[in-house]
Homo-oligomer: A and B are copies of this chain.
Amino acid sequence: MLDMKLEVFIGAMKSVLHGDASRIALHEPNFNGREWEYVKQCIDTGWVSSVGSFVDRFERDLAEFTGAKYAVAVVNGTAALHVCLKLVGVEQGDEVLVPTLTFIATANAVSYCGATPHFVDSETSTLGLDPVKLESYLEQIADVRADGCYNRISGRRIKAVVPMHTFGHPVDLDPLVELCGRFKIELIEDAAESLGSYYKGRHTGNLGRVSALSFNGNKIITTGGGGAILTNDQALCKLAKHLTTTAKVPHKWSFSHDMVGYNYRLPNINAALGCAQLERMPDFLRTKRALAQAYQDAFSGIEGARIQSEPEHSTSNYWLNALLLDRSLAHLRDDFLAATNDAGTMTRPAWTLMHQLKIFDNCPRMHDLGIAEDIERRLVNLPSSAKLGEALV
């Protein structure tokens, strides 16, 4: 028999979800726009691959939407992160600060560079990296030299920090920008989850020197698989384009390459999907905001749990709604997950924290990662597809 409190929580969630509650995805794509039309153009013209106009258009549209000067479309968000790290000069043997509460791509991309992820804690208001805690941590362990920031304990250079905007909620970026300047650390925003999220009126991805977006199937817009690099620096945009297209030296016919590059270019057919999806963003943001509000309302009178709301100064895309159980009820998390998933309503916990994965056992980390641990123990993501909010607007 279900705990009574659990029944109340599930009831509140269900009151928001219209339609067939026995098959509700966590976040599914919505293709009611010009997706067919654009994809068919690719197939009819034969331009599905590395040549074709939708890649250029998608990059222009993304730049316009985000306010970043430049966007470079790539094959997925992981590839975007990998190239971002390369762009700011992360090298073999460096350390890169990443939140322990993140999807594994953030940490994996660091490993691909031969660098070591160094795990830091989150704050409750954003679920993302805590700049205040990071500041006092760096004051303890960092040694700022002419050529960069060094970890006094490991002796390695700390080259970059990669805050991730968790579930679409922007990290508090201003103090982080200040911190990075002072400690000579490069700022990369992992904006994989935050397309359509704004920090103090500016779209996320504009404060990092470079930033990464994702258009995986579960994201607010999808290209099948896809991602992008954002930057306001023309030289970095050029280098990003070069690195993601095998570093081929431009020539009418000959094949020569001047760097070890990557085959990370987004195919045109996937970019076509992206162009159509991006046209729908205002709708998606509106319905997703309505859904978030409905969750807030449904849980507002209920003791023992709350819905995470956008941080002060920020407008969130509410990519994934997050229910936070009270600490005293954290033991109900797995029962909630089991009961809802067994009934066909997809919910999920936060990712296993990076510092708790065996593969990162030897990576440096803050002594105290208590906030992330606390969040992870009692958080559940609720179904958040844009279409679930359609009846609410």
Q: For the complex, what is the distance from the CA of A218 to the CA of B49, rounded to whole Å?
A: 8
- List chain B residues, Cβ under 8 A from A104: 246, 255, 257, 261
Q: Are A217 and B48 in contact (CB under 8 A)?
A: yes
B269, B273, B358: the one within 8 Å of A258 (CB): B358
- List chain B residues, Cβ under 8 A from A384: none
- List chain B residues, Cβ under 8 A from A216: 49-50
Q: For the complex, what is the distance from the CA of A262 to the CA of B348, rounded to whole Å?
A: 22
Q: Are A224 and B268 in contact (CB under 8 A)?
A: yes
- List chain B residues, Cβ under 8 A from A259: 359
Q: Are A267 and B108 in contact (CB under 8 A)?
A: no
This protein's copies in its complex: 2
Interface SS, A side: loop
Q: Are B28 and A263 in contact (CB under 8 A)?
A: no
Report the stretch among A59-67, A75-83, A176-184 that lies at the interface. Answer: A75-83
* In the complex, chain A residues 163-187 whose Cβ is within 8 Å of any chain B Cβ: none
- List chain B residues, Cβ under 8 A from A261: 104, 108
Q: Are B349 and A51 in contact (CB under 8 A)?
A: no
Q: Are B359 and A258 in contact (CB under 8 A)?
A: yes
Q: For the complex, what is the distance from the CA of A261 to the CA of B78, rounded to whole Å?
A: 11
Q: For the complex, what is the distance from the CA of A209 to the CA of B198, rounded to whole Å?
A: 50
Q: Are A78 and B108 in contact (CB under 8 A)?
A: no
Q: Are B348 and A246 in contact (CB under 8 A)?
A: no
Q: Are A270 and B78 in contact (CB under 8 A)?
A: no
Output the least CB separation between A325 and chain B (Å).
15
Q: For the complex, what is the distance from the CA of A112 to the CA of B268, rounded to whole Å?
A: 25
Q: Are A51 and B260 in contact (CB under 8 A)?
A: no
Q: A111-B260, A348-B255 are in contact. Are A270 and B267 (CB under 8 A)?
A: yes
- List chain B residues, Cβ under 8 A from A273: 43, 48, 269
What 19 additional pairs, Cβ within 8 angstroms, besides A78-B263, A257-B352? A30-B46, A36-B40, A49-B217, A75-B75, A75-B225, A79-B263, A103-B255, A104-B246, A104-B257, A108-B261, A111-B260, A224-B268, A225-B267, A253-B348, A254-B348, A254-B352, A255-B348, A255-B350, A256-B357
Interchain Cβ contacts under 8 Å between A and B, 14 examples: A31-B44, A35-B43, A42-B224, A43-B273, A48-B217, A75-B75, A75-B225, A108-B246, A217-B267, A224-B268, A225-B266, A253-B346, A254-B349, A257-B352
